[in-house]
Structure 1
Amino acid sequence: MSVSFDFTGKKILVTGGSQGIGLDISKRLAKSGARVYALARNETALKALVDEFPTVTPIVCDVSAKSAVIEKALKPHHPFDGLVNNAGIAILQPALDADQESIDKILTVNLRAPIVLAGIIAKEMISNGVKGSIVNMSSQASLRPIDDHIAYCSSKAGLDMATRVMAREWGKSGIRVNTVNPTVVLTEMGKKNWSDKDKAGPLLQQIPLGHFAEPNDVTSSVLFLLSDSSSLTTGSALPVDGGYSAN
């Protein structure tokens, strides 16, 4: 069954919006009538998205940049009705071998950047009386420990808590903030990284539904949380993990 949403007239910013899950989210939002603003570092990938969906506005920016740089890139486009903090990275290391450079990179992109982006967007929402929705892309790795994911698990668990703080502080202004927490998602990169049955098998055995997520599974959950269909949902984590985190 296909779920449809109507975002006609809504302005929504998607970080990491030019590839993977972010690209799927950008396209689905554009098809649903939203005025999509796709923020990413890859100017070529953004151009390809705009060629396919001319209504999409590209914003070339690195989410790990200083807040002043991000603010300058976003200034012409405020206010937004929604934000999807999708940009993220993973560097897999066991706890004994985690190095400071990798830890800093992961925490900067996966935790600091969403907090900074959400603050910039929410401040303008409040100033303009916009009762908006923010969706932070988390992971099943925030809910259960996973080997060789020390910094990644920590960054996503931190993002879940940051989301609850945002929801608590900004709720009085009508701003909702939630996370989507997917399992492995079978984007092109996901397929490449998890095509090895020996690698995928042990994880799949822990998923009651027995399979990984397709991009559409995650995108539909994001659109639900952006939409008025979830008007009383805030501070929540929505697992899209086939039951992994509850098993």
Structure 2
Amino acid sequence: MKIDFEGKTVLVTGAAGGIGGEIVRQLVAANASVVAAGRERAGLDAIVAETGCRAVEFDLTSEEEIAEAIADLDLWGVVNCGGFGGEIATPMETNIDVFDKVMAINARGTLLVTKYASRTMIRLGQGGSIVNVSSQASLVALANHISYGSSKAAVDNITRVSALELGQYNIRVNSVHPTVVMTEMSEFYWGRPEIGGPFLEQMPLGRWATQAEVAAPVVFLLSDAASMISGAHLPIDGGYTCR
């Protein structure tokens, strides 16, 4: 199946990160006009140089910056990939300041981008598609993930309600739920044998996901190949959540 976005404009937040960057690459390869978003331009320079995409900067916690950055973009699609991992902590140990920051970036940031991007999409009247990058941590309870899992559960509800409200404008909204992608950031926790070993034993495919394996379903859900799919939550977890 060949996906061709025919030059449609797609905003990707968190584009300076590993998964976000791979989503940009795959969208550009599928003939999308990509706008890569991040908090600072310096972090976006590499993906801009590699792919030729455009770039915008805004802080996901700032409604003013998001509104201003998106106002002049004629968007057809959005990938909400920007996020913050927060802390490894139980409910008994969590730092509420960290919890608030995780919620502000992951949940509130996703809602703010959806708020202003959907206004533009409605104004253009061409329909469109939004994909939110959630997590398996919103589908099942993961130890020490109270902040991150809670924020992604909020993203899931934002996805469902947005799909309900935006369907009348032919705008679809879906989410993907990746398992661990073993980046340098993930390695410090999931790379521990006592943590990662038992986790992989419960996963039918028995391995970590790659960035490309997360990006490909995002591109599919964004595209017209998924034209009758909205409000869906797609696990990309090697079967972990089916247990």
Say yes or no: TM over 0.5: yes
Deviation at 1:192, TM superposition (A): 5.6
TM-score between both structures, scaled by the size of structure 2: 0.95
> Are 1:36 and 2:4 matched, yes or no?
no
Give the match for residue 166 of structure 2. 170
2:72 is aligned, of 52, 76, 79, to 76
1:41-86 per-residue CA deviation (whole Å, 9 max, x = no partner) reads 23222111111122x1111111111x12211112222x21100000
Q: Which runs of 5+ in 2 are unaligned?
A: none
Taking only aligned residues, the RMSD between alpha carbons, in angstroms, comes to 1.4
Letter paired with 2:114: A
CA contact (8 A) 2:12 2:20 kept: yes
Cα distance in 2 for residues equivalent to 1:68 and 1:44? 21
1:127-150 per-residue CA deviation (whole Å, 9 max, x = no partner) reads 110210000000000000111111
2:94 is aligned, of 92, 95, 98, to 98
Give the match for residue 226 of structure 1. 222
Cα distance in 2 for residues equivalent to 1:82 and 1:200? 35
Deviation at 1:196, TM superposition (A): 3.0
1:192-235 per-residue CA deviation (whole Å, 9 max, x = no partner) reads 65333332101111111111111111101000100011101000
Equivalenced residue count is 242
Cα distance in 2 for residues equivalent to 1:123 and 1:12? 14
Cα distance in 2 for residues equivalent to 1:215 and 1:4? 20
Q: Which SS does the other structure have where 1:225 is aligned?
A: helix
Letter paired with 1:224: F
Q: How does 1:1-247 map to 2 (within 5 A)?
A: 4-54=2-52, 56-65=53-62, 67-77=63-73, 79-91=74-86, 92-191=88-187, 193-247=189-243
In percent, how many aligned pairs have the same letter?
40
Q: Which SS does the other structure have where 2:72 is aligned?
A: helix
Cα distance in 2 for residues equivalent to 1:111 and 1:75? 21
Q: Which runs of 5+ in 1 are unaligned?
A: none
Letter paired with 2:38: A
* 4+ residue segments displaced more than 6 Å: none
Cα distance in 2 for residues equivalent to 1:146 and 1:98? 14
TM-score between both structures, scaled by the size of structure 1: 0.94
Cα distance in 2 for residues equivalent to 1:147 and 1:191? 16
CA contact (8 A) 1:187 1:214 kept: no
Cα distance in 1 for residues equivalent to 2:184 and 2:36? 19
